[in-house]
Every structure is written in C-alpha cells, then in structure tokens.
C-alpha cells in the first residue's frame, strides 16, 4: 500500500535554482493538493487539482507551478527558489464526494 | 488567507489525564476534520465531522462539530505516551473541492 509518495524527502537548494517536487498516488484519486507547513502557521494550500488537466491556485501560489497530466502524478515546480520557500511541503490526495485526504510524508526543503 | 484559531498552542499533561482542544473560525464550514501529525510524517486523519452538532468518537478520541458551524472540539481521554504529536483541525466549505483551511496546531506532550 504505497498511498501518497513524495520525493525527495530532503532537499537543499541555492537561491535561484529550480527543482521539481514529485508526488504520486496509486489510489486513483481525483483530487490532489500541495501544502506548505511553516512553524506556527499550520498547513497552507499552494495549488490543487480536481482531475487530470485541471489545476487551480490555493492560498499561497506565488513562486510555484503545477501541472496534472495524469491522474497519478502532481509535481510541484519551483522555478527560481527563494529563502522564503524554505518549508516542509506536503502532497495530499482524495477521492471525490465526502472523502478525506491522505497525506504524503513530506519534503523538507531548505533554500540557502 | 484565512486560518483557523486553534487552542491551546501546546500542552504538557500527565499520562492518564484527559485533554481538550478547540478550533474557532470567523467563517462557517460544512466539514470539520481533526488530524494528528507525528514528527517527520504527514498528517493522519483522526475524525471527520459532516453535520452541525455531530458528536463522533474514535476510540479514546471524541470530536464535536459546533452548532454554529464555526467551531469544533477534540477531546482525548486517558492520554497515553503515544498521543504525543501535533493535532490540527481543518475546515472545508461546500464546493471548494479539495481546499482545506487548517488550524495552527496544538502540540501535545505527555509525561509519565
């Protein structure tokens, strides 16, 4: 039972570098989301998708891009990393209707 | 962006004690959720509430969906050391797909 798999678990970037955080789910869930978690702030929604080919912005989308070419994958791209993007990133997925989200184990990103 | 007010921020309790925490919002939610996060892991769903006034239990955990739909409570009875972690509330409104609004978390530490 893989559930929601995020890679990498840890990453250090230099300011200005780009990278992609990977998220894959094997539960055939329609909905997928990316959150960031910062101390004392809970989880904040970055981007979400309600199905393949459909994405939308969440609460804190600036500096991040997403795409959803398949049901299984929902990568998060940082085009030019900034220290303010140092955070723990969580991907989540859920089926439709009144079902709740499963979260991945997170990616801890540090931008220096 | 909106965040839910969750209290207390942290608490130290002795094993065997009961614990209460709550979450309040200035907006109405149609679903209230409670998650637990262990160190280095993603949040795991504990209880989901879908109806105002609903009281739901999951083992030693009991949660209530406030009648005003602007608050929710989580109680843990007879705490044990493995209850240690961060507890998050989250609210969702109808029609917002996978968008959850999270509380700031309650850090629970249990002493023997």
**Which residue does chain B place closest to A89, by CA atoms?**
B42
The pLDDT value recorded for residue A110 is 97
The pLDDT value recorded for residue A97 is 75
- Portion of chain A with pLDDT greater than 90, in percent: 88
For residue B24, pLDDT over 80 is answered with: yes
The pLDDT value recorded for residue B65 is 97
Which of B21, B36, B92, B97 is best to mutate for the A interface (most A CBs within 10 A)?
B97
Greatest alpha-carbon span in chain B: 45
A97 has a chain B CB within 8 A of its CB: no
| Residues shown for chain A | 112
CA dihedral B3→B4→B5→B11, nearest 10 degrees, is -110
For residue B52, pLDDT over 70 is answered with: yes
Tokens of A64: 């991040």
Segment B55-86, tens digit of pLDDT: 999 999 999 999 999 999 999 999 999 999 99
Residue with tokens 């559930």: A3
């Amino acid at each position: 039972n893989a559930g929601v798999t995020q890679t990498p678990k840890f990453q250090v970037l230099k300011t200005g570098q780009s990278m992609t955080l990977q998220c894959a789910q094997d539960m055939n869930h329609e909905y997928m989301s990316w959150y960031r978690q910062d101390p004392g702030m809970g989880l904040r929604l970055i981007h979400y998708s309600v199905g393949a080919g459909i994405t939308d912005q969440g609460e804190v989308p600036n500096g991040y891009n997403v795409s959803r070419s398949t049901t299984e994958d929902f990568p998060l791209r940082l085009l030019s990393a900034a220290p303010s993007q140092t955070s723990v990133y969580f991907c989540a997925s859920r089926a439709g209707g009144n079902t709740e989200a499963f979260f991945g184990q997170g990616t801890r990103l540090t931008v220096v | 962006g909106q965040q839910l007010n969750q209290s207390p921020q942290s608490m130290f309790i002795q094993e065997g004690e009961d614990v209460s925490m709550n979450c309040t919002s200035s907006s109405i939610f149609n679903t209230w959720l409670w998650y637990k996060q262990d160190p280095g892991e993603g949040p795991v769903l504990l209880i989901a509430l879908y109806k105002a006034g609903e009281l739901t239990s999951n083992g030693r955990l009991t949660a209530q969906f406030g009648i005003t739909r602007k608050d929710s409570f989580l109680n843990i009875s007879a705490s044990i050391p493995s209850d240690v972690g961060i507890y998050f509330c989250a609210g969702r409104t109808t029609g917002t797909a996978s968008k959850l609004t999270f509380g700031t978390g309650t850090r629970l530490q249990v002493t023997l």
